[in-house]
């Protein structure tokens, strides 16, 4: 009788092979992917390694996924910088919550790439505006000090 862990691993091995077929990945590329994990067969990998491997196959086969991931990371960095600049808490859960609220979505991974990109630029603009205002305040403070 198979354990739950064995069934999950078998499901992931099947998913890996389905993804290979879906994206038309040839045998040589498959061997290169498996070599990154130090094996020649997907059966010898752990469930965690199989999950990572399936992610690599999806990124290789579908560049849009990699693009979305890139914009998610950029948006998180921009929101994190904004949090630091404004003295707010800075952790992944808070940053994702801010992004979800700004995008009007329930989950961070539901935000489409176009919205991720727009939000990224909005938060970068917020930082630029804040820096410009701080520079003006600093100049005025120097003028007041020089006049006294």
pLDDT at residue number 93: 93
pTM (2 d.p.): 0.55
The pLDDT of residue 1 is: 65
Q: How far is the C-alpha of 56 from the C-alpha of 78, rounded, in Å?
A: 25
Maximum CA extent, the chain: 86
Distance in angstroms between the alpha carbons of the first and the last residue of the chain: 86
Q: What is the pLDDT along the chain (148 residues), one digit of tens a residue?
A: 678 888 898 999 999 999 989 888 888 888 888 888 898 899 888 888 888 888 888 877 777 776 788 899 999 999 999 899 888 888 999 999 999 999 999 999 888 888 999 999 999 988 888 878 777 877 776 666 665 5
Identify the DSSP state of 45: S
Looking at residue 146, what is its pLDDT? Answer: 64
Residue 50 contacts residue 34 (beta carbons within 8 Å): no
Percent of residues in the chain assigned helix, strand, coil, to nearest 5: 80, 0, 20
């Amino acid at each position: 009788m198979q354990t739950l862990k064995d069934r999950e691993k078998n499901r992931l091995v099947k998913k890996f092979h389905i993804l290979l077929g879906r994206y038309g990945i040839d045998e040589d590329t498959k061997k290169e992917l498996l070599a990154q994990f130090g094996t020649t067969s997907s059966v010898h990998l752990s469930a965690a390694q199989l999950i990572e491997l399936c992610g690599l196959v999806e990124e290789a086969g579908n560049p849009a996924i990699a693009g979305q991931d890139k914009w998610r990371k950029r948006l998180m960095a921009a929101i994190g910088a904004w949090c630091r600049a404004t003295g707010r808490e800075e952790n992944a859960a808070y940053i994702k919550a801010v992004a979800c609220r700004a995008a009007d979505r329930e989950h961070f991974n539901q935000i489409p790439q176009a919205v991720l990109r727009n939000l990224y630029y909005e938060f970068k603009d917020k930082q630029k505006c804040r820096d410009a205002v701080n520079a003006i305040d600093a100049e005025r403070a120097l003028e007041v000090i020089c006049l006294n």
